[in-house]
Amino acid sequence: MSLPHPQLDRDGRLQHFLDMDGLSRETLTEILDTAETLAPVGERRVRTVPLLRGRTVANLFFENSTRTRTAFELAAKRLSADVLNIDLVSSSTAKGESLLDTLRVLEALQADMFVVRHPQSGAARFIARHAAPSVAVINGGDGQHAHPTQGLLDVFTIRRHKPDFTQLVVVLIGDIVHSRVARSDLAALSILGAAEIRVVGPRTLVPADVTALGGRFMPNLDEALVGADVIMGLRLQRERMQGAAVPSSGEFFRHYGLTRERLSLAKPDAIVMHPGPTNRGVEIAGDVADGPQSVILEQVTAGLAVRMAVMSMVLGNRAASNAA
In this structure, are residues 55 and 81 in contact, taking their beta carbons and an 8 Å threshold? yes
Report the alpha-carbon angle 255-256-260, nearest 5: 100
In this structure, are residues 230 and 163 in contact, taking their beta carbons and an 8 Å threshold? no
Q: Minimum Å distance from CB 192 to a copy of itself?
A: 23
Residue 114 pairs with which residues in a beta bridge? Answer: 58, 137
Cα 194 to chain centroid, rounded:
17
Comparing CA positions, the residue from 164, 165, 159 lying closest to residue 295 is 159
Binding stretches for a copy of itself (CB under 8 A): 42-48, 53-56, 64, 66-67, 70-71, 73-74, 77-78, 82, 84, 86-87, 91-92, 94-97, 101, 104-105, 107-110, 238, 276-279, 297-301, 304, 319
Q: Minimum Å distance from CB 242 to a copy of itself?
A: 14
Q: Minimum Å distance from CB 86 to a copy of itself?
A: 6
CB of 55 or CB of 159, closer to a copy of itself:
55
Neighbours of 204 (CB within 10 A): 12
User: What Cα–Cα distance (Å) separates residue 137 from each residue in 16, 116, 125, 126?
Assistant: 5, 7, 8, 10
Long-range contact pairs involving 291-297 (C-beta distance under 8 Å, separation at least 24): 291/260, 291/263, 293/263, 293/269, 295/157, 295/161, 295/271, 296/272
Could you give the CA distance from residue 32 to residue 192 in angstroms, rounded to a whole number?
11
CB of 104 or CB of 267, closer to a copy of itself:
104
CB of 44 or CB of 166, closer to a copy of itself:
44
CB of 228 or CB of 304, closer to a copy of itself:
304
Q: Minimum Å distance from CB 286 to a copy of itself?
A: 10
CB of 27 or CB of 294, closer to a copy of itself:
294
CB of 4 or CB of 243, closer to a copy of itself:
243
CB of 50 or CB of 163, closer to a copy of itself:
50
Q: Minimum Å distance from CB 27 to a copy of itself?
A: 24
Q: Minimum Å distance from CB 107 to a copy of itself?
A: 7
Q: Minimum Å distance from CB 237 to a copy of itself?
A: 9
For the chain, how big is the Rg over CA atoms in Å? 20
Residue 284 pairs with which residues in a beta bridge? Answer: 258, 280
Report the alpha-carbon angle 162-20-78, nearest 5: 75
CB of 41 or CB of 213, closer to a copy of itself:
41
Name the strands in the sheet holding 82-87, side by side, starting at the edge strand that comes first in the sequence: 82-87, 56-61, 113-118, 136-142
Q: Minimum Å distance from CB 67 to a copy of itself?
A: 7
Contacts of 174 (CB under 8 A, 6+ apart): 182, 200, 201, 205, 233, 234, 235, 236, 256, 283
